[in-house]
């Protein structure tokens, strides 16, 4: 799990715990604190979404890195290092399909 996913889980647990204690106890506490239970549910939803998308994002990042490496390997040396001979600078790029 990533740090963001763990953060969402921790906030969810804290929200449910504090909200549950305030809602289900008979202590004379300010009712504004009951908003923590629904916030716990929201953070639990964010936790589930981020948990489901972790593998997809890792695969996407890996694919994009591979594409960038392919483009860099196929680019001619003149396109990577422009010459400083003065006058006009022209750069030719090799067209590639990914």
Cβ neighbours around 47 below 10 Å, total: 21
At 96 the pLDDT is 65
How far apart CA 47 and CA 37 sit, in angstroms, is: 15
At 8 the pLDDT is 95
73 is written with which tokens? 């390997």
At 94 the pLDDT is 66
| pLDDT 10s digits, 22-79 | 888 877 877 788 888 899 999 999 999 999 999 998 899 999 999 999 998 887 655 5
Whether this prediction's pTM lies above 0.75 is answered by no
Q: What is the DSSP letter of 32?
A: G
């Amino acid at each position: 799990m990533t740090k963001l996913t763990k953060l969402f889980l921790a906030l969810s647990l804290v929200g449910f715990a504090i909200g549950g204690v305030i809602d289900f106890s008979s202590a004379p506490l300010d009712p504004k604190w009951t908003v923590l239970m629904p916030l716990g549910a929201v953070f639990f939803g964010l936790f589930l979404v981020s948990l489901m998308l972790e593998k997809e994002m890792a695969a996407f990042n890996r694919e994009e890195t591979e594409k960038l490496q392919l483009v860099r390997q196929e680019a001619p040396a003149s396109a990577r290092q422009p010459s400083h001979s003065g006058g006009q600078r022209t750069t030719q790029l090799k067209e590639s399909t990914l």
